[in-house]
Amino acid sequence: MTVLLAVFAGGALGAAARHLVDRLVHLRADRRFPWGILAVNITGCLLFGLIGGLAAAGWPPAATAGLTAGLCGGFTTFSTFAHDTAGQLRAGRPAAAAANAVLSTGGGLAAAALGLLAASALAG
């Protein structure tokens, strides 16, 4: 039950953080491209890699699940990425759709790897 509550609390915080980051990015960025969700997903991948790497050192299950499945799961969003990419196509911007797909996927993988490397360095 403790793990479930940790995931629930982390998910609530992650979803709220996603909304805030998306809005803050769009205050300064061109709204025709989904910069906010791109920033959220790449940052979330970095955070997930970092947390996952550090948690491998023996964190309690509730902390690990609350931060990975909860916080990172609530923060990042594949469904919004797919919706935004399809929206670019519907708006007649295939280059923007392709750029979003490549940046989100490649950037997310690179950020997750960077997070794991950082966790290894921090763990010694």
Q: Is 76 annotated as a binding residue?
A: yes
Residue 79 DSSP code: H
Contact 96, 88 (CB under 8 A): yes
Q: Is 21 exposed, middle or buried (0-12, 13-18, 19+ CB in 10 A)?
A: middle
**76 three-state secondary structure:** coil
How far apart (Å, rounded) are the C-alpha atoms in residues 108 and 20?
20
Cα angle 7, 11, 14 (rounded to 5 degrees) comes to 135
Tell me if 43 is assigned to a ligand binding site. no
Contacts with 24 (C-beta within 8 Å, 6 or more apart), sequence order: 36
| Numbered residues of the known binding site for Na(+) | 73, 76
